[in-house]
Structure 1
């Protein structure tokens, strides 16, 4: 597996990572996203210190992920109910059609 060395800058601090070359762009995009979120929290002035900014950012991202999963589960459940309802209507229509043929 071909590995790539990636340099990432988050809140004016540079970090070096190694990752599979095929994942390099994903890592850079994730770092850019993380840097933007951390800047938002830092610039709000409500949180001071890199550690606290990192923890607050992690908590916010975890919260967004959990909300997203919850919404996805609700959508899956809703879709399942609609499919079940459609299947029942189709079966009912087929039964009616069979009775009319007799």
Structure 2
């Protein structure tokens, strides 16, 4: 295991990582930080924790879409569940924005 210093959302973290996975982990850090920056610059989501959650949800959604692209079994249900989660998040964000 190797300790890596990474930066996400301007915050520094030290994480342990197997040496053979360092390159892919650094790519994941870059992807996550880029997505966070995109969401932040769009200005629709307020709060660091909400921005991080939205970025993680978006990346996870894309990953699952790719994983299930070759499988139609359960795809309609999966999409419906993701859509439902997105609606809940959107509603929560509307309510949060009204507070400010």
Say if 2:21 is the partner of 1:26.
no
Aligned residues: 72
Deviation, 1:62, is 2.0
Structure having the higher helix fraction is: 1
**Equivalences for residues 2-81 of structure 1 within 5 A:** 3-74=1-72
SS in 2 for 1:6: strand
In 2: Cα distance, 1:4 partner to 1:60 partner? 28
The structure that has the greater radius of gyration is 1
The structural deviation recorded for 1:44 is 0.5
4+ runs deviating over 4 angstroms:
none
Partners of 1:67 and 1:21 lie apart in 2 by: 29
What is the TM-score normalised by the length of structure 1? 0.64
**What value does the CA root-mean-square deviation take over the aligned residues?**
1.3
**1:69: Cα distance to partner?**
2.6
